[in-house]
Structure 1
């Protein structure tokens, strides 16, 4: 009788992988495996070590200890190109990592080919464009391949990154928050692509803070906490994964199931929109936002959410309609005018709209929070560092920002703690209208719960409007949900959250 063949080794296996940054232990003897033809969800709060682990696999950081193996053979990725040559590719969350904005879509799709050729210039030939078209079709990308990458929507830039990552037919693909900038329809297309990769034998490591993504895709969930593997949850006989238990392992507590909701009609009207058009030719609509309630404006990517937020804040004009703030005509001339009137706005891209590079004076938590209010707090131009730090220290405690202190630079914090600092900025002074565009993007489920609590705590004193693409997030944060579609109000889908 022949002895049974031993099972094949995992496609990807980490054993005892560790990494330190000075006195900070980012990863502590992490063991993790992903089999061929499976999808493993990597969960963890911001700062748990997920990004460090991904960067080690991508060849950005060397590990201090431990072993990485592909199909049982030890490997040591030394650069992203080397990792890709080994068969490990990463689709990053940050748009800045997706390509070169000034090059065409075709040239971005074939960047690795040009790098291999060693050519001093990058220019797509006719045959290259044809090859790029094949890659684009693989992910359902239908844009003009001669268009510059920087002119595409964020969602299409993300799809270019995915197509480029898959060009080498990798054996391991790491997806880092891939649906953060995608509409529901685009996300479903991505899920189908990932499932095809799994069915073809690819090992997939999937990182997301969206539970719906994980429930749809994952065969197993692995939880990192404080740089260690804190738990592993396989899909059970009933076909489900115990994500409630995984979340409890991840953050050390159960989530607030929703908190107290504002009674309908309790508040006073603060912001009124009458006959507003977001685009010429689109149906005008009326909306009123009151104190004592949080309103979520939702809808697919491109529905007009950011357009509406920017118009209220004074970043763009409205084609038609009028706005009123506390009963008076509201026609903001600039962001400074809006801030002076108590209309505050945290944009979707925190690094473009809210944060400073590390080499400028306001790159710290204290500087980030105080910057919009300098004329109000320090009218004679002399910044009082002690007052800055006192305000920031109170925000750190209130929002649970994990840091050493108010003087920490924002680029040293995890994404979730950066986002907490952005939202905390707009709670440092009384607001009449608070506009938050995708405040939970790239934020883990525990940090999102903290943000929701903080947002709702002061809703009684202002109109609070949260712009989100994810309907689950809208349900978590809002008393009332308004749906936009094609830059107009979808009246059939707007409702009060009971």
Structure 2
């Protein structure tokens, strides 16, 4: 089942559940926000957000990266207590100083980062009943028979059907999707007042997502309020009664069904800002094809795609979460090799099975998650930069530290990295300067193809401009550059050519003036 397929029982008539009749209309909202604001280091993250979530309703929350969604979720979850404004639960003012306090009031959250919800080292059964054990102060090693019995009751909430053998395993042995289902079953076992689902299908298969959609429908009928956070527009269109949009910490739209997706996306993506880089608008194309893909499926069950990346050209790929951007980036780099299709690099077969294969052929990747996939805390700036190229900096197996330091200094100077010197620990740098280090690493040896996956995430406008200018300069020097982002304006600032990717398929491929902002947004919204 694809994100754009309707969920079972969902759609415009789905509002007619138990929570939408006259009785529900007379009841107070399950949870309300009143003028809620929050700032970090003096920088506003949320500003005067007011929102009601009714019992038995599914409210979808949409917003670009950095819009404030995570902060809002953490306020409701009891993680961020130092906010302004008020939270009301069942119409009564409520304090949420901790996750335990939120749980006690019936607010449960299934976070996007699954690792935050399970405890490796404990069994699957112990994880299923973990909160009950902690709340009651019981010894988890007493009465294994009762522990397993309660774990079965909780897993039956989702019909998981795990055997005793699986329940006894270390939870770390479960796959990510099963861990997510475990967390969801644990949350539902308490019959919450409000369930917050943060990108709940990001780690689920199509069959598991179908099961989740049916569960959301059941919760709606049971009068449970759901805050559904997702970039997958088809899911929102199928499941939600209302759609609210956050942008720059403010609530910019609150839409009923049927959703006006063009209006929603404009509210999410804002109006174009002054370009940070000199993007050409004359439709200029690059030169020879550097890298080509033929018949490559980007997502399971989707049509194979063709794409050419040309030297002297910046190709920008726009797509929301789940569109297939990261799969494209990691496939080109050999981190998650494509299973079918044909690739050529400068006319020669190209089939990277690991990143080392790509690096040898001059294909470099700036990954989406710099903390998890690109930087090593405790290492210096210079050492982080030199990591992929140690063989060229080594003699008889020993790294020549002088050359490594020189490489670090060149990168610092070339990208304007703000740091004490090349020996500074990389974790001491700001987020924008850490991103410059990651970008600079892959410019150390001029690539044939540079792939940048969400290169501007979490960086300020200055760092964004510097990175964009380096991407354009690299293309001008003959490389092919691919920039992937969920932010339309980020791509429009830097790209010669704009490709819209939705649900693993190319929906627009245009140059210059043909890639106007309105047309790009329409291509995204048309995928719903």
Shorter-chain TM-score tier: 0.5 to 0.7
Pair 1:137 & 2:168 matched? no
C-alpha spacing 1:390/1:90, structure 2 compared with 1 (3 Å): farther
Q: List runs of 5+ in structure 2 lacking aligned partners.
A: 1-22, 274-280, 295-303, 394-400, 418-426, 459-483, 511-526
C-alpha spacing 1:102/1:178, structure 2 compared with 1 (3 Å): same
Pair 1:380 & 2:403 matched? yes
Residue of structure 1 equivalent to 2:147: 128
C-alpha spacing 1:70/1:384, structure 2 compared with 1 (3 Å): same
Q: Which whole-Å CA distance do the structure 1 matches of 2:77 and 2:435 have between them?
A: 25
Residue of structure 1 equivalent to 2:71: 52
Pair 1:161 & 2:183 matched? yes
Q: List runs of 5+ in structure 1 lacking aligned partners.
A: 274-285, 395-405, 480-496
Report the Cα offset of residue 451 of structure 1: 6.6
Q: Which whole-Å CA distance do the structure 2 matches of 1:329 and 1:316 have between them?
A: 17
1:62 counterpart (58, 68, 81): 81
Report the Cα offset of residue 188 of structure 1: 2.2
Pair 1:409 & 2:430 matched? yes
Q: Secondary structure at the match of 2:505?
A: helix
C-alpha spacing 1:25/1:186, structure 2 compared with 1 (3 Å): same
Residue of structure 2 equivalent to 1:352: 372
Deviations 1:414-437 (A, max 9, x none): xxx999997897578644466789
State which drifts further: 333-342 or 72-81: 333-342
C-alpha spacing 1:355/1:6, structure 2 compared with 1 (3 Å): same
Pair 1:171 & 2:193 matched? yes
C-alpha spacing 1:123/1:475, structure 2 compared with 1 (3 Å): farther
Cα root mean square deviation, aligned:
5.1
State which drifts further: 199-208 or 367-376: 367-376
Report the Cα offset of residue 407 of structure 1: 7.8
Q: Which whole-Å CA distance do the structure 1 matches of 2:338 and 2:407 have between them?
A: 39
Q: Which whole-Å CA distance do the structure 1 matches of 2:63 and 2:305 have between them?
A: 38
Residue of structure 1 equivalent to 2:488: 449
Q: Which whole-Å CA distance do the structure 2 matches of 1:190 and 1:326 have between them?
A: 45
Q: Secondary structure at the match of 1:381?
A: helix
Q: Secondary structure at the match of 1:145?
A: helix
Report the Cα offset of residue 134 of structure 1: 3.0
CA contact (8 A) 1:343 1:432 kept: yes
Pair 1:215 & 2:254 matched? no
Q: Which whole-Å CA distance do the structure 2 matches of 1:476 and 1:254 have between them?
A: 21
Q: Which whole-Å CA distance do the structure 2 matches of 1:107 and 1:5 have between them?
A: 37
Q: Which whole-Å CA distance do the structure 1 matches of 2:33 and 2:270 have between them?
A: 25
C-alpha spacing 1:473/1:322, structure 2 compared with 1 (3 Å): closer
C-alpha spacing 1:254/1:196, structure 2 compared with 1 (3 Å): farther
Q: Which whole-Å CA distance do the structure 2 matches of 1:326 and 1:57 have between them?
A: 52
TM-score by length of 1: 0.67
Q: Secondary structure at the match of 1:181?
A: coil
Report the Cα offset of residue 387 of structure 1: 3.6
Pair 1:195 & 2:234 matched? no
1:472 counterpart (496, 503, 513): 503
C-alpha spacing 1:81/1:230, structure 2 compared with 1 (3 Å): same
Q: Which whole-Å CA distance do the structure 2 matches of 1:227 and 1:287 have between them?
A: 36
Report the Cα offset of residue 99 of structure 1: 0.5
Residue of structure 1 equivalent to 2:115: 96
